[in-house]
Amino acid sequence: GDFLYSRSFEMMVELGSMPVMKILSKATRVIAEGEVLQLSKIRDASTSEETYMEVIRGKTAMLFEASTHSAAALAGATAEQTEALRTFGDHLGVAFQLVDDLLDYKGDATTLGKNVGDDLAEGKPTLPLIYTMREGTAEQAALVRQAIQKGGIEDLESIREAVEAAGALDYTAQQARNYVERAIACLDALPASEYRDALVELSRFAVARTH
């Protein structure tokens, strides 16, 4: 990831595209801030949904936003289209991360291609856990709170059962679908084409994926 990002900087220098350089520079800062904020919330069971959204907007959605914003700048899009594509990237990035966090408790290692429960092992308070602590039973909330604070995956199966029973997985999935619909609505600013259709299809896949 770092290599690809640094390579994109190099390419923009070669092209002499200052607008894109500005976009990438801002993205670098925001992504770093998002990562730092996430690190500061490790094993913090008091993390709110608002703070969680701030984290994923910084560390994930900004990368999507920078990609679509840069593409608009390079393509010579109008101001309206540029803003629409920038916002599209932000919403798609949020949806993508929400699904990623959901799959950490719903997927399986073979399909995902990575270990399930990685977020829990690191003590990361993601939306399924935050929702369970807020809306679940006192027992479910206590179980999740303790798991976040100590980290590890010893209680993974119990946590998976708790977030499912509390409706946290359904809530997270619905939030992801909401963001994808908002992302797709942004594409109305673009003329009908196979490329716009491809972006719609990509958006649908972001929330339907199982890996």
pLDDT, residue 21, reads: 84
CA distance 183 to 155: 36
Cβ partners under 8 Å of residue 87, min gap 6: 65, 183, 186
Neighbours of 210 (CB within 10 A): 10
Tens of pLDDT along 159-206?
Answer: 999 999 999 999 999 999 999 999 999 999 999 999 999 999 999 999
Tens of pLDDT along 63-110?
Answer: 999 999 999 999 999 999 999 999 999 999 999 999 999 999 986 655
Tens of pLDDT along 34-46?
Answer: 999 999 999 999 9
Give the three-state DSSP class for 45: coil
Judged against a pLDDT cut of 90, whether residue 16 lies above it is answered with no
Q: Which residue has the tokens 């690809």?
A: 4
Q: Which residue has the tokens 């393509």?
A: 75
Write down the H helix ranges in the chain.
2-15, 18-40, 49-56, 62-75, 79-106, 109-112, 118-121, 127-135, 138-150, 156-165, 168-186, 194-208
CA distance 117 to 129: 12
In the chain, domain spans: 2-208
Q: How sure is the predictor about 9, in pLDDT bands with cuts at 50, 70 and 90?
A: low
Domain 2-208 part of CATH 3.50.4.10 = no
> 144: which 2 tokens?
């999740």
> Backbone dihedral region of 43: left (phi > 0), alpha (psi from -120 to 50 degrees) or beta?
left
Task: Decide if 84 contacts 187 (C-beta within 8 A).
Answer: yes
pLDDT, residue 110, reads: 54
Q: Name residue 126's amino acid.
A: T
> 197: which 2 tokens?
């259709």
Q: What is the mean pLDDT of the chain?
A: 92
Tens of pLDDT along 177-188?
Answer: 999 999 999 999
CA distance 70 to 47: 32
pLDDT, residue 108, reads: 67
pLDDT, average across residues 135-155: 95
